[in-house]
Structure 1
């Protein structure tokens, strides 16, 4: 493992000294960099992969690492290398630790499980029957790995080795196996012990669009376009065209659902000008974000603290456990990742929330790795946790807002461009739209 740089540990005061003097760029730098430290300092000491969660001190509850969260961590490492927070050679070294671990883990037709043992690579059961491959988590992982292959493009031995190993893993992933023998839909899980026992079809609209795009992009094990159109696009909550808070929503469940639907697939997938026969995905994500914002501003449940500078409902910890918070599942819990990762879609509203979180609430919710997972002023509660799948989008989506870095990398990959064209997408990255 590479030597880890010291993490910024300065705690916030209730009104941060000099905080108002920070420019927007300086504050974004601070938040991205401190959030990145979660993926650098809290990484597993053997595998380099990322624990599902840690406490505020960075201690995980077990030896497990998460596949999707590690993919988000790969993207955070790319941002850190680009911005000079870590040396490029250190980034490559850390990524090779991760890759070598993945190459020696148990895969399920090339697909990785949700959780792995961070030391041995053994599959850790997510539930009784979920003890095999997790196609969606694997898609989140490859979204990051393919960006790394595109970014580390120098004619140097270490970067060439990294690219070659990522390509090997990518080529060996059997996406089409997860059509269960040729059905026109992807299935989320398969394992040697329980087969297709979970029976969970991946249908839209939700966070899983990236799974279909990568499955269509595979150079060896690609799905046919019909799987996308008859599987993903035939979900119960796919087409919406309903109006909430005077905003029409093209796709999705009532009120759009939790905001991570607009984040996870779009860390690499650029929604700007991305369209197919079903939707304009920039408009879909922007409107979903504004519905979430309007709900918190109008605050029909009269929760303490909600307003134009304190908003954002998504899946996170809460005082009694974990839930996918949304306007129709609102228990008074704000998740900082929701508003911060929405920076591309609603920059003024997101920046206002960021300043409030940092300048006003900082002594309660700002710590070693940035903002903790969630808080509730209504309940007088703040999380003692950081979650990989919530910290990752903060770094990546703020970077996409600032520079478009990850969007440019992912959308420039020839395999991805081929997959998008196969499914009928248009995008400026494809020379149209």
Structure 2
């Protein structure tokens, strides 16, 4: 799993700044103390969705208008990467903007103009057999290496982006002339991704990276279970560069060996979570692939119900935080959720790690619970109400900060990451209305791709 494997490298390169709660950040937090406990659940969900939208609407990279890798409210913002955009996070940002349009938070006409600008930028940006790199310079469109050899195509980040592009296409394809032009741009970008190239010459597995300089030296096959399922779904659904079903079952499911009969807290895990078989992995594994892919009643040859996998993983995370075996102050039914994001190092500086029950540092990442609304609506609502009404210092201008800890004297880092902020509004909306799930699942290519892989969903007529 890339984010866990590379977390040490990312920390050393970008997140070694000491965490200071600057006066500016504290002032912004103080503005949120007007949140009243009498707000309804609907009002609170509106509030956090609007706040998360600001990350991609107000704080977008100014040239490309795509999502910045990070945004810092404190005075330690690294100016040298303020134009670094993230492809995967931008895909979540596209979904977030669609939620903003659908709910009337932003004008449809303005969104169309901005989305068109984004698609034009992506069409001119560096691509590698159709895939984009993990990071791109928002001013030039050139690749920003994620690591020395990670300087080419990143198929997983491309999948997260492509999922958003498809949903934009589906939302606007029957609109006015300008909207149909936008949908056409999206269609061309989607069809240009050469998914089958990333089988390394026809191996029955997808590979994460390819670079014209280092070829396949990164050597990272996509094998389940982690956040990468959507990559196989899109690759099988491509009308131009598709993979076959054998690649999915031999590669992703490891010939079916990724199944497990293990349980935790009486809840079946169903699949072996990579590097985290006892409790399951960080909660982004139950979120990233499911911004558009609806797990409700979704099955394939091996899995009877994907929703149950995600629900159980989330409940195990919740139960672990309630049990709180390490006795962190604050953990409980209203304050829970472990996933990848910023963390607090022993010396008080800010780092990055994939929080999960087997890697618990006393730091709660708000996106974990907030992006779990479809699976744990009551528990997620309890967290949302608690953090907005009882912990205003944890709230900034774009919603809850990325990392918080009651244990460490109400510590927080006044910073945001696109991949964390970008799942909040979409997953809450999927809980509320199923809006993005309907867009994605009804796309004609997705219907055909899922059928090819022997997926079934009565909800969408896939048999």
1:204-223 aligned within 5 A: 204-223=224-243
SS at match of 1:21: coil
Is 1:128 aligned to 2:148, yes or no? yes
Q: Which residue of 2 aligns with 1:374?
A: 403
Q: Which residue of 1 aligns with 2:307?
A: 282
Unmatched tracts of structure 1, length 5 or more: 1-8
TM-score normalized by the length of structure 2: 0.89
Distance 2:97 2:142 in 1: 25
Distance 2:189 2:149 in 1: 25
1:144-293 aligned within 5 A: 144-234=164-254, 238-253=258-273, 254=277, 255-279=279-303, 280-293=305-318
Distance 1:92 1:281 in 2: 33
SS at match of 2:262: strand
Distance 2:209 2:135 in 1: 13
Unmatched tracts of structure 2, length 5 or more: 1-25, 346-350
SS at match of 1:240: coil
Residues 346-405 of structure 1, C-alpha deviations (whole Å, 9 max, x = no match): 10000001111111111x210100000011122232012101000011110000001110
Any conservation in 2 of the 1:204–1:237 contact (CA below 8 Å)?
Answer: no
| Aligned residue pair count | 424
Distance 1:124 1:235, change over 3 A: farther
Counterpart pick for 1:308 among 326, 333, 336: 333
Any conservation in 1 of the 2:297–2:457 contact (CA below 8 Å)?
Answer: yes
Is 1:330 aligned to 2:360, yes or no? yes
Distance 1:156 1:408 in 2: 21
Distance 1:67 1:305, change over 3 A: same
Q: Which residue of 2 aligns with 1:140?
A: 160
Any conservation in 2 of the 1:205–1:237 contact (CA below 8 Å)?
Answer: no
Distance 1:317 1:18 in 2: 25
Any conservation in 2 of the 1:412–1:429 contact (CA below 8 Å)?
Answer: no
Greater shift, 238-247 or 418-427, is seen at: 238-247
Residues 208-240 of structure 1, C-alpha deviations (whole Å, 9 max, x = no match): 000000000000100010000000001898222
SS at match of 1:256: coil
Distance 2:216 2:250 in 1: 19
Any conservation in 1 of the 2:35–2:389 contact (CA below 8 Å)?
Answer: no
- Offset at residue 60 of structure 1 (A): 6.5
Q: What RMSD in Å do the two structures reach over aligned CA positions?
A: 1.8
Q: Which residue of 2 aligns with 1:359?
A: 389
TM-score normalized by the length of structure 1: 0.95
Is 1:406 aligned to 2:436, yes or no? yes
